[in-house]
Amino acid sequence: MQNWHLLSLTTFLPLVGALFILTIRSDDPKVVARNARAVALLTSLATFAVSLLVLSTFNPTLPGFQLRETGSWLPSLGEGIGIQYALGVDGISIWFVLLSTFLTPICILSTVGAVEKRVKEYMIAFLVLETMMVGMFVALDLVLFYVFFEGVLIPMFLIIGVWGGPRRVYAAFKFFLFTLAGSVLMLVALLAIYFQAHTTSIPLLMNYHFPAHMQTWLWLAFFASFAVKIPMWPVHTWLPDAHVEAPTAGSVILAGVLLKMGAYGFLRFSLPMLPEASIYFTPMVYVLSVIAVIYTSLVALAQTDMKKLIAYSSIAHMGFVTAGIFSLTELGVEGAIFQMLSHGVVSAALFLCVGVLYDRMHTREIARYGGLVTRMPKYALVFMIFALASVGLPGTSGFVGEFLILVGLFKVNAWVSALTATGMILGAAYMLYMYRRVVFGKLVHEDLMGILDMNARELAVFAPLVVVVLWMGLHPSTFLDPMHASVTNLINHVQLARAVPHVAPAVAH
């Protein structure tokens, strides 16, 4: 199936759907909304089906990139080969592609009843966003990657700004400018790489050895971009604002996929291309990760807004991920990838849980709820599953990732492992504390008396998420096995740099 262009199809199918929606016209806005939503849902489901086809053709025993597509795109400006349109997946990126295509239909389904104004534009924005996300994960050319990486900002900016809450303008600008400021430094690094290595092909660059002093600068430039995207402490401040103001589906994609772009960048660029700098900066990443885990967990404990609480918990969970990646062990990296997938599903589900309440009561204040279990038993169950998965209860997806990360970290640095582990305890504290206040207790607020439990559509939204969370928790090898070959390859590559440190060039610099 090499010449089926499966990856191009996965990437651009949503864009085709978006163009199709553009042509929908009717005098009745309700008809437009219904048709736009139907087209968007079908398109995203078809995209998901294609991405499953990608998974089925994927050979998990091979470490390299598969299903590759290349075509010349831009002529070169100096010497060297030009910039190519190159796509491919390996055991790492394929999961992020699936995560994106899996979450998009769920998001679209969740907008029924929640988004009533400018539905057509909303659907177009989501489908464009999906194209950008998938394209970013399958891009095998640095410039192509950058185009998609940055392109994500445009639809997300509009989603927050047009359909967001009361402080949406502030949040949208903060989101956009923070991430852009980080990314432009990556652009400079990218140009530097081009003139050093005369190529922007990711597979070629992975085997290119950059001089040691150059690695340091390149690593820092990449770090500026990825750290903002993840987000790592102390550049995380855009995230709570963006989450609180974004519409539910926007938060889902933001937490589910966009936060993973930074960590994916570490795995795809920093580690394989700049291994020596990665080893050199490991202590710094550890410190920032530990601060992120402990500090943001404590901050989460003090939140009164549910979405803000989950936003801070996301930062803490991403702290686990960065620590796991820079453990530079197989277990740690696999755990980090697993944790990202798990967090992608769980935090998405948690935001959807908040969305269910918000659609009914139009508030996210924890204090405005309580005793929901008597009126909404189904909701209480679903919410509990995801709250416990977020805490990392064995049997759910959250446990596997965090456990692997801690084991991987313990092998290299017991202290970091121990400090990171406190995040699990604090996580249990803030999550269960919130759950108790919202779901248990007495039903005191009058207006909650008439609240309705989840309807069939909402159950349909959550059902696949529950299945995936339990599947990941009970049978993690479905997900771990295919990534194994790629991760082993990556770690061997990095460890080789540690074992045989290349002699820095003798010339002064």
Partner 1 sequence: MTLDLVPVLPELLVVAAAVAVLMWGVFVQRDTTRDGFVIAIVAMVAAIVALGAIGGDRRLAFDGLFVLDRFAVFTKIMILLAAIFTASMSVDFLEREKIGRFEYPALVLFATLGMMLMVSSNSFLSLYLGLELQSLSLYVLAAYHRDSTRAVEAGLKYFVLGALASGLLLYGISLVYGFAGTTAFGPLAQLLGSGGATAKIGVIIGLVFVMAGLAFKISAVPFHMWTPDVYEGAPTPVTAFFSSAPKVAAMALFMRVLEGPFVHLFVEWRQVVVALSIASMVVGSFAAISQSNIKRLMAYSAIGHVGFALVGLAAGGAIGVQAVLVYLSIYLVMVVGTFAVILSMRRKGAMVERLDDLAGLGKTSPMLAFVMGVLMFSMAGIPPMAGFWGKFYVFMAAVQRGLWPLAIIGVLTSVVAAFYYLRIVKIMYFDEPVDGLDRVLGRPVALVMAVATVGVLALTFIPGPLLAGAKTAAMALFPAAG
> In the complex, which residues of this chain contact partner 1 (CB under 8 A)?
73-75, 77-78, 118, 121, 143, 146-148, 150-151, 153-154, 157-158, 161-162, 168-169, 172-173, 176-177, 180-181, 184-185, 187-188, 191-192, 194-195
Cα gap 491→484, rounded to integer Å: 11
- If the CB atoms of residues 164 and 398 are measured against partner 1, the closer one turns out to be 164
8 Å CB contact between 453 and 377: yes
- The nearest distance, CB 74 to partner 1, in angstroms, is 6
- If the CB atoms of residues 147 and 291 are measured against partner 1, the closer one turns out to be 147
Query: Could you identify the residue written with the tokens 């202290």?
Result: 415
Q: How many helices (H) and strands (E) does the chain have?
A: 22, 2
- If the CB atoms of residues 149 and 386 are measured against partner 1, the closer one turns out to be 149
Q: How many other C-beta atoms lie within 10 A of the C-beta of residue 166?
A: 9
- The nearest distance, CB 141 to partner 1, in angstroms, is 13
Cα gap 328→316, rounded to integer Å: 20
Cα gap 20→484, rounded to integer Å: 39
- The nearest distance, CB 247 to partner 1, in angstroms, is 13
- The nearest distance, CB 341 to partner 1, in angstroms, is 27
- If the CB atoms of residues 140 and 426 are measured against partner 1, the closer one turns out to be 140
Q: Which amino acid would we find at residue 132?
A: M
- If the CB atoms of residues 188 and 474 are measured against partner 1, the closer one turns out to be 188
Q: What DSSP state is assigned to residue 232?
A: P
Q: How many other C-beta atoms lie within 10 A of the C-beta of residue 382?
A: 23
- If the CB atoms of residues 78 and 450 are measured against partner 1, the closer one turns out to be 78
Torsions phi, psi for 335 (to 5 deg)? -60, -40
- The nearest distance, CB 206 to partner 1, in angstroms, is 21
Two tokens, residue 332: 């740690």
- The nearest distance, CB 446 to partner 1, in angstroms, is 33
CA dist 185 → 145, 228, 428, 450 (Å)? 15, 12, 37, 53
- The nearest distance, CB 165 to partner 1, in angstroms, is 12
Q: What would the 3-class secondary structure string for 412-439 be?
A: HCHHHHHHHHHHHHHHHHHHHHHHHHHH
- The nearest distance, CB 9 to partner 1, in angstroms, is 17
Consecutive H or E run containing 72: strand 66-74
- If the CB atoms of residues 31 and 188 are measured against partner 1, the closer one turns out to be 188
Query: Could you identify the residue written with the tokens 């700098």?
Result: 277
Q: What DSSP state is assigned to residue 507?
A: S
- If the CB atoms of residues 132 and 206 are measured against partner 1, the closer one turns out to be 132
- If the CB atoms of residues 29 and 377 are measured against partner 1, the closer one turns out to be 29
Query: Could you identify the residue written with the tokens 């401040």?
Result: 237
Q: Is 183 exposed, middle or buried (0-12, 13-18, 19+ CB in 10 A)?
A: buried
- The nearest distance, CB 157 to partner 1, in angstroms, is 7
Consecutive H or E run containing 86: strand 83-89
- If the CB atoms of residues 180 and 384 are measured against partner 1, the closer one turns out to be 180
- The nearest distance, CB 228 to partner 1, in angstroms, is 12
Cα gap 331→335, rounded to integer Å: 6
- The nearest distance, CB 238 to partner 1, in angstroms, is 14
Query: Could you identify the residue written with the tokens 């061997």?
Result: 492
- If the CB atoms of residues 150 and 330 are measured against partner 1, the closer one turns out to be 150
- If the CB atoms of residues 75 and 450 are measured against partner 1, the closer one turns out to be 75
Whose CA is closest to 472, among 318, 316, 342?
A: 342
- The nearest distance, CB 158 to partner 1, in angstroms, is 6
Query: Coil, helix or strand for 71?
Result: strand
Q: What would the 3-class secondary structure string for 249-315 be?
A: HHHHHHHHHHHHHHHHHHHHHHHHHCHHHHHHHHHHHHHHHHHHHHHHHHHHHCCCEHHHHHHHHHH
Cα gap 430→357, rounded to integer Å: 19
Query: Coil, helix or strand for 174?
Result: helix
Q: How many other C-beta atoms lie within 10 A of the C-beta of residue 384?
A: 16
- The nearest distance, CB 290 to partner 1, in angstroms, is 30
- If the CB atoms of residues 146 and 223 are measured against partner 1, the closer one turns out to be 146
